[in-house]
């Protein structure tokens, strides 16, 4: 068992000025001694935040956080199997009038594909993914 850390957890930690090491320690204190990783989709979201930084100092801080994160935790890619599973679920949800951001859907489905849960502050979106274990961080 393990957890994928959602981008919301990572962004909140960076905004609070935590180092990656501090963020991981805090997450593990709440989640227990389990494997913790990231979806590659979170890297896209964090890189977007680096590009949109409103100052050079903030940009440098965000870049450093992202660089440290990449070396500290396993990054799980979007595989063919994951892409197909996600597409099917997205189609099923949309046919019921439920719209979920692609990034959240991919992060959640990455967790399901691995048999993991998601650690997030965004329970509303991830709660729409059937069978996904969610822990509020």
This prediction has a pTM of 0.95
**Environment class of residue 59 by beta-carbon count within 10 Å: exposed (0-12), middle (13-18) or buried (19+)?**
middle
Provide the number of structural domains found in the chain. 1
Structure confidence by residue, pLDDT tens digits, 42-64: 999 999 999 999 999 999 999 99
For residue 120 the two structure tokens come to 């997030």
Domain that holds residue 72: 2-136
- Domain of 79: which CATH number? 3.40.50.1010
Average pLDDT over residues 109-133: 96
> Which DSSP string corresponds to 63-131?
HHHHHHHHHHS-EE---HHHHHHHHHHHHHHHHTT----HHHHHHHHHHHHHT-EEEES-HHHHTTSTT
Closest Cα partner for 54 from 62, 42, 44, 46?
62
**The pLDDT of residue 36:** 98
Paired sense of beta strands 35-39 and 75-76, if any: parallel
Structure confidence by residue, pLDDT tens digits, 61-110: 999 999 999 999 999 999 999 999 999 999 999 999 999 999 999 999 99
**The pLDDT of residue 1:** 87
């Amino acid at each position: 068992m393990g957890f994928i850390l959602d981008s919301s957890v990572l962004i909140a930690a960076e905004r609070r000025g935590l180092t990656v090491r501090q963020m991981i320690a805090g997450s593990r204190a709440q989640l227990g001694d389990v494997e913790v990783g990231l979806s590659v989709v979170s890297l896209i979201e964090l890189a977007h935040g680096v590009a949109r930084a409103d100052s050079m100092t903030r940009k440098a801080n965000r870049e450093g956080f992202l660089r440290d994160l990449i070396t500290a935790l396993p990054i799980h890619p979007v595989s063919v199997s994951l892409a197909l599973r996600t597409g099917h679920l997205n189609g099923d949800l949309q046919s019921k009038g439920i719209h979920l951001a692609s990034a959240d859907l991919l992060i959640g489905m990455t967790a399901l594909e691995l048999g993991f849960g998601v650690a997030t502050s965004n329970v509303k979106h991830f709660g729409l993914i059937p069978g996904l274990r969610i822990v509020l961080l």
